[in-house]
Amino acid sequence: MPSQIEQLINAKNAWMARHITEAEFPTPLSKQGLALYQQQQQSSQQISSIPDTPEPALTIYPVDCHPLTIRYALVLSSKWQDEAEKEAIVEFLTQMMFDDESPAQLFVGFYKGKPAACGMLYHTNNGLTLVSDIHALPLANQQALIEEMENSLLAKAGTDNNYALVISRNSL
């Protein structure tokens, strides 16, 4: 039987997939992007405390419009090396639709006025929040930007509610 953390990751992945699997006319490229997204390896751990964040380098915005969705997609797609795969990931991610009842919130972090990092909070009704899909562009300070986005989303999740926090680290 899957653990509670695995169930949370599976729920997030199912929510992501439904933007393609439930679409009336999904494009072949968006289907390819979904397959690439699903092939990521995920490791996770439960977090009991939120690390302190040094002076922020990022200005973080919730994704609340299509232009920010595109920026989110461009940052996350930079995980893939192959240009065709990047294009498929962007096609997949830009198909996402949000409403007030959506369990997921996407965020884009701007560094020196340009999109440089991204992340997701995925909330469930059973008391867990998943911090997932954290990534930053391959800049000299990439790891610092990833850690800042991760810590900022952990702090946001922790102050927005009394959820247990789980972080999922994706790798290719």
> pLDDT by residue (tens digit) across 55-71?
889 999 999 999 999 99
Pairing between strand 104-111 and 128-136? unpaired
The answer to whether 131 touches 157, Cβ cutoff 8 Å, is: yes
Kindly report the pTM of this predicted structure. Answer: 0.86
Dihedral class, residue 106 (left if φ above 0, else alpha if ψ from -120 to 50, else beta): beta
Please state the rounded mean pLDDT for residues 30-44: 85
Residue 19, number of CB atoms within 10 A of its CB: 18
Of the candidates 150, 132, 129, 131, which has an alpha carbon nearest to the alpha carbon of residue 60? 150
- What gap in Å lies between CA 140 and CA 42, rounded to an integer? 24
Q: Does domain 4-167 have CATH number 3.40.630?
A: yes
Phi/psi for 27 (5° steps) reads: -80, 155
pLDDT tens digit string along 102-158?
899 999 999 999 999 999 999 887 777 888 899 999 999 999 999 999 889 988 887
The residues spanned by each domain of the chain are: 4-167
The angle subtended at Cα 124 by Cα 123 and Cα 127, nearest 5°, is: 100
- What gap in Å lies between CA 157 and CA 123, rounded to an integer? 9
pLDDT of residue 58: 96
